[in-house]
Amino acid sequence: MSNDTISLETAVETAALTFLDFVVPDAPFTLFPENTLARKMEDPRAKELSEKIDPAIPMLSEGFLAHVIPTIAQVEEQLRELEEKQKLLLEELKTTNIKMENQDNYEYIALSFSKIPKYNSKLQNIRNTMLSMLLRSKNLKQRVAQLKIMKEQQLAQIAKFQKRERNFDQTVLAAKVVERNPPPIPEAVK
């Protein structure tokens, strides 16, 4: 086993001995292996319990490692994949940067990009002009609608006035005709 595994086993053994402190509270336990060995020899209950637990420690360590090692291996694999992807991305960025530096039309591209704010302001001005023209056209349409209504009202008034004049003229003509040609007076009235 590697050094990491040994330290893990030591940690599990220490955890098991710490557990013994809770099981046998009156025994003076410490977390240091030297004191633990001395304690094992002094207390017969601790010695008996230690003899029962000692065979379980390697199995606990192996069980713990069996659960932890696959996860660690998976994380290590993901880290390797991430490092590979980062290296590929870095290489791509380097090649793109080199291509951009070596291009002959770099000045043309830079000039084109420098014109973007100017064109953007022109587009904004055109947009503002179009909005104002839209408002003006709406106002003109409303005014045309109002003028159309006023014209219809005036035409209606003129038609009404002409009708009154025609009626008046007809009445006046009828009255003149009656004056020139008075109706015959019936003989019985004479």
Q: 111 vs 98, 105, 118, CA distance in Å?
A: 19, 10, 12
Q: Tokens 């290590």: give the residue.
A: 76
* Same domain, yes or no: 43 and 82: yes
Q: What is the pTM of this model?
A: 0.33
* Same domain, yes or no: 96 and 174: no
Name the least confident of 14-28, 101-115, 145-159, 164-178: 14-28
Q: Does residue 156 fall inside a structural domain?
A: yes
* Same domain, yes or no: 87 and 154: no
Q: HSE of 136 in the Cβ direction (CA atoms, 13 Å)?
A: 6
* Same domain, yes or no: 29 and 95: yes
Query: Which is nearest to 15 in space by CA: 35, 31, 2, 29?
Result: 31
pLDDT exceeds cutoff 50 at 59 = yes
* Same domain, yes or no: 75 and 152: no
Domain span at residue 159 reads 133-180
Rounded Cα–Cα distance for residues 78 and 84 (Å): 10
Q: How confident is the model at residue 188 (pLDDT cuts 50, 70, 90)?
A: low
* Same domain, yes or no: 11 and 95: yes
Name the least confident of 10-19, 81-90, 120-129, 170-179: 10-19
| pLDDT value of position 12 | 62
* Same domain, yes or no: 85 and 154: no
Q: Does residue 123 fall inside a structural domain?
A: no
Q: How many CB atoms lie within 10 A of CB 30?
A: 13
Query: Which is nearest to 25 in space by CA: 52, 42, 48, 45?
Result: 45
Q: How confident is the model at residue 13 (pLDDT cuts 50, 70, 90)?
A: low
Among 102, 118, 150, where does a domain finish?
Answer: 102
Q: Does residue 23 fall inside a structural domain?
A: yes
Count of the separate structural domains present in the chain: 2
Q: How many CB atoms lie within 10 A of CB 155?
A: 10
| pLDDT value of position 95 | 87
